[in-house]
């Protein structure tokens, strides 16, 4: 996407041709800063500390992390060590594990002399494929938004989204936001309710920033406002991303997504989830029982960062001394609450049959 007229990806090859430039998302919205990663350890830290986040972007950054490792030491032992280090960064987004397996498969039979070049090429291919898949998601999701707009001619299509599943969560376009960008660019009058998404405020800090930069009308709301808005007919559809979707259509996404899906069901609001194929975990059926939910540090709940009137970035405590805080980072929305899954291959019901109709190669009988 463009940032002040300059094309950017949240992860890209640096100008020197081997380091990896990332946008430091912990600094947004108050500062646009980039970091050049030069080692696999730095790539692992960037994922763990959420300088980069979002399932597809985590996978793409890990892929480049393997390339950095191969540039330093292309041995079998270092390939295995790099993959293991990156696997341990975050447990929920399946794209991380898919990307690392893809890099292993691309490299394990290559000679040590070829490995670094092959790793950078494989990481670049994976990144370009992600961007293309997300643009295709946008085209398929656009048709849904177009259908809603047709039922309310001359009126605004109000869409609620949770967390950040925009271009900042992927290599480009985003997943949940890709149809919104396509609809806005197509001249459809869309407005987005942006859940702030406590505790890390990916909605308030990232979604609001990227939609605003693209000129998409938006209103940031607290996480608990969504049900009220739906009750009062102010939401025409909900669209979110996902970090791992099971073969039967259960959706693991940022904490709070499940509650939005319950409110949507109760109010007859369509609830769509946008995802590229690598976000589907075909080995898992029951998301609630089987998907590991990341528990992040309690300080993310107990502290909040912001900019003072003088422009200083500060972090303050928001809990009583010694108050205990819990911080599960994701929840699972059962398929029964999902209206449809918007993928790069089309839109499917949230069922195993629906997903296999789009990905027949995954049908192992
Ligand atoms: C397109 S995946 C976006 C997905 O990732 C976010 O999690 P996090 O910011 O912790 O990496 C959130 O679940 C988004 O929906």
50: left (phi over 0), alpha (psi -120 to 50) or beta: left
Task: Tell me, yes or no, whether 193 and 307 share the same domain.
Answer: yes
Asked which of 98, 129, 160 is the last residue of a domain, the reply is 129
CA angle in degrees (0–180, nearest 5) for 31-196-257: 130
Q: Is 168 in the pocket of ligand 1 (CB under 6 A)?
A: no
* CATH code where residue 290 lies: 3.40.50.10470
Please state, as a whole number, how many other Cβ atoms lie within 10 Å of the Cβ of residue 295: 12
Question: Looking at 129, 159, 182, which one is the last position of a domain?
Answer: 129
The catalytic residue among 172, 243, 281, 331 is: 243
pTM, to two decimals: 0.97
Determine phi and psi for 206, rounding to 5 degrees.
-110, -55
- Residue 223 shares a structural domain with residue 351: yes
- The count of domains in the chain is 2
Q: What does the alpha-carbon distance between residue 82 and residue 69 come to, in Å, rounded to a whole number? A: 6
- CB 54 near ligand 1, within 6 Å: yes
Bridge partners of 11, per DSSP, are 22
Q: Residue 160 and residue 135: Cα distance in Å, rounded? A: 20
Q: Does one domain contain both 211 and 108?
A: no
Contact 132, 331 (CB under 8 A): no
> What is the total residue count of the chain?
365
| One domain for residues 164 and 289 | yes
Same domain assignment for residues 124 and 141: no
Report whether 237 contacts 191 (CB < 8 A): no
pLDDT of residue 3: 85
The candidate with the shortest Cα–Cα distance to 56, out of 140, 175, 137, 202, is: 175
Pick the closest to residue 287 from 253, 322, 323, 325 (CA basis).
253
For residue 20, give its domain range.
2-129
Q: Whose CA is nearest to atom 6 of ligand 1?
A: 54
109: helix, coil or strand? coil
Ligand 1 center from residue 242 Cα (angstroms): 6
What is d(CA 320, CA 22) in angstroms, rounded to the nearest whole number? Answer: 36
Q: Of 64, 97, 129, at which residue does a domain stop? A: 129
**pLDDT for the residue 4:** 85
* Residues of the chain with confidence (pLDDT) below 50: none
Element (H, E) at 125: helix 112-151
Question: What residue numbers does the annotated binding site for substrate cover?
Answer: 53-55, 90, 202, 253-254
Shared domain for 220 and 325, answered yes or no, is yes
Instruction: Give distance in angstroms: CA of 185 to centre of ligand 1.
Output: 24
Ligand 1: nearest atom to the Cα of 55: 2
To the query of whether residue 223 is one of the catalytic residues in this protein, the response is no
Alpha-carbon distance of 67 to 124, in angstroms, equals 10
CB-ligand 1 contact for 253 (6 Å cutoff): yes
pLDDT at 365: 64
pLDDT of amino acid 150: 98
* DSSP conformation class of 295: B
Crossing angle of helices 40-48/76-87, nearest 10°?
10
ipTM of the complex: 0.98
Q: Tell me: do 101 and 154 sit in the same domain.
A: no
């Amino acid at each position: 996407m463009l940032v002040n007229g300059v094309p950017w990806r949240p992860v890209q090859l640096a100008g020197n041709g081997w380091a990896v430039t990332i946008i430091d998302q912990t600094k947004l919205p108050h500062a646009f800063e980039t970091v050049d990663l030069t080692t696999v350890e730095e790539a692992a830290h960037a994922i763990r500390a959420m300088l980069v986040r979002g399932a597809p972007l985590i996978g793409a950054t890990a892929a480049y992390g393997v390339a950095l490792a191969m540039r330093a030491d292309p041995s079998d032992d270092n390939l295995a060590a790099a993959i293991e280090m990156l696997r341990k960064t975050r447990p929920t987004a399946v794209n991380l594990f898919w990307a690392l397996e893809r890099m292993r498969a691309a490299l394990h039979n290559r000679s040590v002399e070829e490995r670094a070049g092959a790793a950078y090429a494989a990481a670049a291919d994976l990144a370009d494929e992600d961007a293309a898949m997300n643009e295709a998601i946008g085209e398929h999701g656009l048709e849904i938004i177009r259908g809603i707009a047709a039922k309310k001619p001359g009126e605004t299509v109000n869409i609620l989204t949770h967390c950040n599943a925009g271009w900042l969560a992927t290599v480009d376009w985003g997943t949940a936001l890709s149809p919104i960008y396509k609809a806005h660019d197509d001249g459809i009058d869309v407005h987005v309710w942006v859940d702030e998404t406590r505790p890390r405020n990916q909605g308030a800090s990232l979604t609001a920033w990227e939609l605003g930069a693209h000129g998409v009308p938006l209103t940031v709301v607290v996480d608990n406002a969504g049900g009220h808005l739906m009750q009062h007919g102010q939401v025409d559809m909900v669209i979110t991303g996902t970090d791992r979707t099971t073969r039967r259509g259960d959706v693991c996404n940022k904490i709070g997504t499940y509650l939005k899906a319950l409110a949507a069901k109760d109010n007859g609001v369509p609830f769509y989830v946008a995802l590229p194929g690598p976000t589907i975990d075909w080995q898992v059926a029951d998301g609630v029982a089987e998907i590991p939910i990341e528990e992040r540090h309690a300080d993310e709940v107990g502290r909040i960062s912001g900019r003072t009137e003088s422009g200083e970035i500060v972090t303050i405590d928001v809990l009583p001394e010694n108050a205990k805080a819990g911080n599960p980072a994701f929840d699972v929305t059962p398929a029964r609450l999902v209206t449809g899954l918007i993928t790069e291959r089309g839109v499917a019901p949230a069922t195993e049959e629906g997903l296999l109709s789009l990905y027949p190669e995954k049908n192992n009988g």
